[in-house]
Amino acid sequence: MTASIDNLLKNSNLPGPRGNLELMYSFAHSANAMEISECMTYLRDDLKNSPEEFVVMCGIVGYAVLHRNDLPGCLEYLRRFASHGSWRIREAVAMGIQETGAGNMDLLILHLKSWLDGNELEKRAVVAGLCEPRLLTDKDNVNEVLQILWDITLGFIASPGKISDVAKTLRQALGYCWSVAIVHHPREGKKMFEQLAGINNPHIRHIVKENLKKNRLLKMDKAWVEARNAGL
Which tens digit of pLDDT belongs to each residue from 66-77?
Answer: 999 999 999 999
Q: Residue 127: inside a domain, yes or no?
A: no
Mean pLDDT of 100-107: 93
**Is a pLDDT exceeding 80 seen at residue 1?**
no
Whether the Cβ atoms of residue 53 and residue 89 lie closer than 8 Å to each other: yes
Mean pLDDT of the chain: 97
Q: How many domains does the chain have?
A: 2
Residue 17 belongs to domain spanning: 1-101
**Is a pLDDT exceeding 90 seen at residue 192?**
yes
Cα–Cα distance, 157 to 133 (Å, whole number): 28
Residue 140 burial (CB count, 10 A): 11
pLDDT digits (tens, 9 = 90+) for 170-191: 999 999 999 999 999 999 999 9
**Is a pLDDT exceeding 90 seen at residue 102?**
no
Mean pLDDT of 39-52: 96
pLDDT value, residue 232: 85
The reported pTM is: 0.95
Q: Residue 47: inside a domain, yes or no?
A: yes
| 1 and 96, same domain (yes or no) | yes
| 152 and 97, same domain (yes or no) | no
| 69 and 18, same domain (yes or no) | yes
| 69 and 10, same domain (yes or no) | yes
| 160 and 83, same domain (yes or no) | no
| 31 and 82, same domain (yes or no) | yes
pLDDT value, residue 4: 93
pLDDT digits (tens, 9 = 90+) for 13-42: 999 999 999 999 999 999 999 999 999 999
| 75 and 159, same domain (yes or no) | no
DSSP of 93-144, one letter per residue? HHHHHHHHHTT-HHHHHHHHGGGGGS-HHHHHHHHHHH--GGG--SHHHHHH
DSSP 8-state secondary structure symbol assigned to residue 68: T
